[in-house]
Amino acid sequence: MTRASIAAAALLAISAAGAVANAAFAADAAAGRAKAVQCQACHGLDGISKLPDAPNLAGQNEDYLVKALHDFKTGERKNELMSTVVKPLSDADIANLAAFYHSLKP
C-alpha cells in the first residue's frame, strides 16, 4: 500500500466515523414536541405566539433556534424568563426543540 492510499483510507475512515457520530446525535423532533409543552404558554405548541412579546417559532431556522437557546442559557442573550426556562435544558433538549419548531409550518 502506498502512502497516498493509506492516507486516503484513513481520511475515509474518519469521515465515516463523523457521519455515524452525527447520525447518533441527530435531533429528534418528536422528543422536541414533548419538551415543548413547557413553551406553549408563550410560544404555543403550534409555534404561533400566544403573547405579543413572544416570537413565533414555527418554521424558524433550526441552527438559529439552537444558538438562541444556548445564548439564553449562557447569558449571552438576556431575558429573565427565557434564561430561567432554558437553564435545565440539555444540549439534546435544545436540539430537539429546535428540530420540532423548525418542522412546523409558519
More confident residue, 106 or 13: 106
DSSP class of residue 3 equals: H
d(CA 18, CA 35): 27
Q: Taking the mean position of all CA atoms in its chain, how far away is CA 106?
A: 17
37 membership: H or E segment, kind and range: none
Tell me the domains of the chain and their CATH numbers: 27-103 (1.10.760.10)
More confident residue, 5 or 37: 37
Name the pTM for this structure: 0.75
44-89 pLDDT per residue, tens: 989 999 899 999 999 999 999 999 999 999 999 999 999 999 999 9
